[in-house]
Amino acid sequence: MTKLNSKIPEGPLDKKWDKHKLNIKLVSPANKEKLNIIVVGTGLAGSSAAASLAELGYNVKIFCFQDSPRRAHSIAAQGGINAAKNYQNDNDSVSRLFYDTIKGGDFRSREANTYRLAQLSGAIIDQSVAQGVPFARDYAGYLDNRSFGGTLVSRTFYARGQTGQQLLLGAYGALNRQIHTEKIKMFPNREMLDLVKIDGKARGIIVRNLITGKIEKYGAHAVVIASGGYANVFCLSTNAMGSNAGCIWQAYKKGAFFSNPGFVQIHPTCIPVHGEQQSKLTLMSESLRNDGRIWVPKDKTRAEKLRKSKTPASDATKISEDQRDYYLERRYPAYGNLVPRDVASRAAKERCDADFGVNASGNAVFLDFKHAIKKLGKKEIEKRYGNLFDMYYKLTADNPYEAPMQIYPAAHYTMGGSWVDYNLMTTIPGLYSIGEANFSDHGANRLGASALMQGLADGYFILPYTIGDYLANDINTPAIDINTPEFDEATKNVENRIDKLLSIDGSKTVDFFHKELYNIMWNHVGISRNKEGLKKAIALIKKLKEDFWKDLKIPKEKHTVNQELEKAGRVADFIELSELMAKDALSRNESCGGHFREDFQTDEGEALRDDSNYTYVSAWEYKGKDEEPIMHKENLIFENINLSKRSYK
Amino acid sequence: MNFTLKIWRQKDAKSKGCFKIYNVSDINSDTTFLEMLDILNNRLVLEGKEEPVAFAHDCREGICGMCGLFINGRANGPDSGVTACQLMMRKFKDGDTITVEPWRAKPFPVVKDLIVDRSAFDKILQVGGYISVNTGSAQEANTLLISQKNAEEAFDAAACIGCGACVATCKNSSAMLFVASKISHLARLPQGKIEAVERAKNMVAKMDELGFGGCSNTGACSVECPKNISLSHIAKLNREFIKAKFKK
Ligand SMILES: Cc1cc2nc3c(=O)[nH]c(=O)nc-3n(C[C@H](O)[C@H](O)[C@H](O)COP(=O)(O)OP(=O)(O)OC[C@H]3O[C@@H](n4cnc5c(N)ncnc54)[C@H](O)[C@@H]3O)c2cc1C
Ligand code: SF4
Ligand code: FES
């Protein structure tokens, strides 16, 4: 009964993409000029797609909620971007990057997509360098690499600790160039609030102008969602304050299936939560695990002393080597501190739950550079991580050159998202989803430095071809008229929802509800889950949703900047999405990647995967407001690799 | 900690603004400046008497460039090398009175309260702040060697976050540091040299057209730049610009 057709091409793995490209329909240059495309999002995925589409001759309208496209959340990515260039001659290859990514994702992603991603990785580096991205170089002027978690080769390209910024500025440059030629029209300060479908096809969007409050409608032959991830369901996450699930959630309600909503990545190295007044958590790049060593005291009473101390970090320097438990090196001798994120996060939680935590709340472990500084010198460490150390010092007032950092896991990235086929099209014809917004390439866990790679592969090299296959059938469709009942109805729905939010007049702010949601999700749908907890979470979320719509209070101004109204809409979506995340996690009776079920683990506390029953992608179909959603399954077929136990020991 | 805040309130671009006084109490010293404003805003929402203070922000880690504020007469307050979102309340003394204003510069009109319109920056970059390469036409990356020194210097310039602190600080509202950072970033790389002269000419012309003032070399911009963009990039811009003049 499954309605899912992934459109994976036949043939050998390494020929699939080439073959597919040959079979894709082409649109003539003259016809491209007549076709309009909407792109929502100006991060790496959206900017790269919009620029490439405009270069091909399509007319593009692009939207973001920030005041400039350059401020999309991709700007914050720190550590790097992977590519199978094998510049280090350490036996890297497309096949190895493919295998690492599939294994890193715990064998829950499509072979064909992941292989294509690895194939395209090299061209992304070429393109970025041509745009002027100042990647790190060695003394002879060649590109430099570093290692990231989950791999044993050095394939990560980086621009100090600001790789995302530099890549985005490259793509933003390409975008600007097309804005200048008027092939792209840029709409900043706009938030998409609904998708418009005509005859079953995606034909436009409804947005709110965040400055004037005006509800605006825009039409196009196809719509591309590049709105990023939804880790902000956890209000204390590493994502930007405005990152939201709105676009993919509206699309879901209009018929775009939502895949693997429960697959969330909790990043192991973030600055721990301190106090009640915090608004977000700051990531300390994974690259730090190249040289930093993670530990807690071997002795519980020692840890307890640290928890009571006012200066735990400097006290820690006095703890001798034989009293330190470098628990990742102990448990995973092959990968040590470079195990994948999910493994490192769980291990930190395990130590802290067992009372070895090292800050006042008991939720922190040490990341120590003592040995690295001794071996490489302070200067070299400064060169590698200077800006990260400075940032840490500014935020915490502790100096990582002198005492270890304190870190703890935090919600960071969402592997789930809109279900898409090999062409990156959702289950709504003409609606595409790219970058973190889709579910495609990372299975149940994403390897570090692979999100930037995926966003840019989607935007530069995949979508510009695959969208032609759809649009080739649309060359006789005139520009989409926005004065139709479909557009009017969607506008009405958006206005009604805004009016409803404004009229509640309760007693609690949006932030209150977002924090409540965080507590539910972090405790029950976070690093580890179990059946009882997930059921409890679903009940709690239902209750929270009722309270939200009864007791919310926001300012009433509609025709001006109203940031509380913006937040309210986003949190309303998060609450609904949370329920689906919990349901998805409950339906998967196995542990895989970021989805760790306490009720499915080995005696040693490692994840227990169930390949015979769960080698599938879940794809949830919305059935209406008070109806239960239906889960469809896309079975994953592995023709080229054996599903092995994912071991990093 | 307790503070008295003197905050600029302005309904929209057309209205006249004024300062209003607010008190906040029990602020943790580990709180950031923006979190302190969150606390005030949550209170204002619950009181329901006036709108919360509108201010722009997103990443809250000093990289998106969205959050600039004029605090006690300085761009982003008393700390140096930080954005408003990275400014910690421990940098103030308990009981301090803190004045908070939007960027003040003619090319950045106030949108509401502390939010200004910085679209002029995008417009400058649109006329040439890039290398004109189409997707797909790039050469193999390692066939283009770039000395580590040039790559690092290009990076230093490319680190600009487009926040506008330089313009807000400059008595002439000059955008020189912002423009120079992009020109210098690209002119230091071989792949950016080909268009360097044209780029400088177009971007400077656009900057002038949008009403930014001239540079009188006071250097205040660089001192207040949260990313420590160096004045040397302005010298580089001037060199490119002189070349542009000679070409004419
Ligand atoms: C702190 C941090 C560090 C990271 N470091 C790395 C790293 O080193 N390497 C790596 O590979 N990955 C990293 N990641 C992950 C990676 O940065 C993201 O997955 C990736 O940048 C997402 O890009 P995107 O284009 O899909 O979305 P984003 O960059 O999030 O862009 C989303 C865009 O959509 C727009 N948008 C969203 N909702 C709406 C709406 N409703 N209406 C209109 N517009 C909307 C936004 O305005 C924005 O323009 C990091 C992530 C974080 C949080
Ligand atoms: S030069 Fe500095 S102050 Fe000016 S916009 Fe760039 S980062 Fe901001
Ligand atoms: S909010 Fe992004 S720089 Fe301050």
Structure tokens that stand for A55 in this block: 């270069």
Three-class secondary structure of residue A439 per DSSP: coil
Cross-strand pairs, A630: A621
Residues B230 and B151 in one domain: yes
The verdict on a CB contact (< 8 Å) between A134 and B151 is: yes
The verdict on a CB contact (< 8 Å) between B46 and A509 is: yes
CA B129–ligand 3 middle distance (angstroms): 22
Structure tokens that stand for A437 in this block: 């917004």
**Chain B residue numbers touching A570 (CB-CB < 8 A):** none
Structure tokens that stand for A641 in this block: 């690799």
Residue of A nearest to B154 (CA): A134
In a domain, B138, yes or no: no
Please enumerate in sequence order all residues whose Cβ is within 8 A of that of B32, keeping only pairs 6 or more positions apart, or say none: A279, B60, B85, B86, B87, B88, B89
pLDDT value, residue A235: 94
Residues B192 and B93 in one domain: no
Looking from the CA of residue B224, the nearest atom of ligand 2 is 3
CA-based nearest residue to A453, from A20, A55, A44: A44
Three-class secondary structure of residue A173 per DSSP: helix
Query: What string of DSSP letters covers A584-635?
Result: HHHH--S-BTTB-BTTSB-TTS-B---HHHH-EEEEEE---TTSPPEEEEEE
Residues B104 and B186 in one domain: no
User: What parts of chain B have a pLDDT lower than 50?
Assistant: none
A502 touches chain B (CB under 8 A): no
Identity of the residue numbered B141: A
The verdict on a CB contact (< 8 Å) between B45 and A553 is: yes
**Chain B residue numbers touching A553 (CB-CB < 8 A):** 45-46, 48
Ligand 3 neighbourhood includes B65 CB (under 6 angstroms): yes
Enumerate the CATH 3.90.700.10 domain ranges in chain A, comma separated. Answer: 267-411
Angstrom distance (rounded) from CA A114 to CA A453: 11
pLDDT value, residue B111: 98
CA distance B131 to chain A (A): 5
The verdict on a CB contact (< 8 Å) between B141 and A125 is: yes
pLDDT value, residue A30: 97
By DSSP bridging, strand A431-433 and strand B115-116 are unpaired
The verdict on a CB contact (< 8 Å) between A169 and B158 is: yes
CA distance B120 to chain A (A): 10
Q: Residues, chain A, total?
A: 649
The verdict on a CB contact (< 8 Å) between B142 and A509 is: no
Q: At what angle do helices B196-209 and B232-247 cross, to 10 degrees?
A: 100
Residues B7 and B98 in one domain: yes
Question: What are the b/e assignments for A494-526, b being 16+ CB within 10 Å?
Answer: beeebeebbebeeebbbbbbbebbbebbbebbb
What is the helix (H) or strand (E) element at residue A313, kind and residue range?
Answer: helix A312-316
**Chain B residue numbers touching A89 (CB-CB < 8 A):** none
**Chain B residue numbers touching A160 (CB-CB < 8 A):** 155
Q: Which of residues 330-389 of A touch B (CB under 8 A)?
A: none
Residues B163 and B217 in one domain: yes
In a domain, B166, yes or no: yes
DSSP single-letter state for residue A143: B
**Chain B residue numbers touching A73 (CB-CB < 8 A):** 58-59, 64
For chains A and B, CB pairs below 8 A equal 220
* Third-level CATH fold of A267-411: Flavocytochrome C3; Chain A, domain 1 (3.90.700)
Angle CA(A191)–CA(A192)–CA(A195) in degrees, nearest 5?
170
- Domain containing residue B45: CATH number: 3.10.20.30
Taken in order A260, A233, A431, A201, the sign of the CA dihedral is positive
Cβ atoms < 10 Å from Cβ of A40: 29
Identity of the residue numbered B152: E
The answer to whether ipTM exceeds 0.85 is yes
Q: Is the separation of the CB atoms in B54 and B2 below 8 Å?
A: no
Residue of B nearest to A509 (CA): B42
Residues B97 and B198 in one domain: no
Angstrom distance (rounded) from CA A404 to CA A45: 36
pLDDT value, residue A2: 52
Residues B242 and B169 in one domain: yes
Cross-strand pairs, A186: A62
Enumerate the CATH 1.20.58.100 domain ranges in chain A, comma separated. Answer: 491-610
Residues B19 and B124 in one domain: no
Q: Is the separation of the CB atoms in A81 and A158 below 8 Å?
A: yes
Residues B83 and B124 in one domain: no
Q: Is the separation of the CB atoms in A432 and A226 below 8 Å?
A: no
Residues B125 and B59 in one domain: no
Q: What is the domain count for chain B?
A: 2
User: What parts of chain A have a pLDDT lower than 50?
Assistant: 1
- Domain containing residue B205: CATH number: 1.10.1060.10
Residues B107 and B190 in one domain: no
**Chain B residue numbers touching A188 (CB-CB < 8 A):** 119, 122
The verdict on a CB contact (< 8 Å) between A277 and B27 is: yes
Whose C-alpha lies nearest to ligand 1, atom 16? A451
Whose C-alpha lies nearest to ligand 2, atom 5? B162
Residue of A nearest to B156 (CA): A134
**Chain A residue numbers touching B66 (CB-CB < 8 A):** 66-67, 71
Residue of B nearest to A236 (CA): B60
Please enumerate in sequence order all residues whose Cβ is within 8 A of that of B122, keeping only pairs 6 or more positions apart, or say none: A68, A69, A70, A176, A186, A188
CA distance A345 to chain B (A): 22
A338: burial class by Cβ within 10 Å (0-12, 13-18, 19+)?
buried
pLDDT value, residue A1: 44
Angstrom distance (rounded) from CA A557 to CA A554: 9
Angstrom distance (rounded) from CA A8 to CA A4: 11
The verdict on a CB contact (< 8 Å) between A68 and B119 is: yes
Ligand nearest the Cα of residue B66 is 3
CA distance B27 to chain A (A): 8
The verdict on a CB contact (< 8 Å) between B133 and A564 is: no
Ligand 2 neighbourhood includes B170 CB (under 6 angstroms): no
Three-class secondary structure of residue A534 per DSSP: helix
Instruction: For residue B182, give its domain range.
Output: 118-132+143-247
Virtual CA dihedral for A134, A137, A142, A147, nearest 10 degrees?
A: -110
Rg (chain B; Cα; Å): 20
Cβ atoms < 10 Å from Cβ of B109: 15
Note the pLDDT tens digit of each residue in B191-225. Answer: 999 999 999 999 999 999 999 999 999 999 999 99
The verdict on a CB contact (< 8 Å) between B133 and A73 is: no
Cross-strand pairs, A61: A38, A185
Residues B77 and B147 in one domain: no
The verdict on a CB contact (< 8 Å) between B63 and A75 is: yes
Cross-strand pairs, A368: A293
Pocket test for ligand 1, best of A71, A227, A234, A570 (most atoms within 8 A of CB): A227
Q: From the list A87, A128, A280, which residue is nearest B60 (CB)?
A: A280
Residues with CB under 6 A from ligand 1: A 40-46, 63-66, 72-74, 76-81, 163-164, 190-192, 226-229, 238-239, 243-244, 246-247, 283, 412-413, 435-437, 449-452, 455
Q: Is the separation of the CB atoms in A552 and B46 below 8 Å?
A: no
In a domain, B67, yes or no: yes
Interface test with B, best of A71, A168, A239, A271 (most B CBs within 10 A): A71
B186 touches chain A (CB under 8 A): yes
CA-based nearest residue to A172, from B176, B130, B61: B130
Q: Is the separation of the CB atoms in A439 and A290 below 8 Å?
A: no
CATH architecture label of A491-610: Up-down Bundle (1.20)
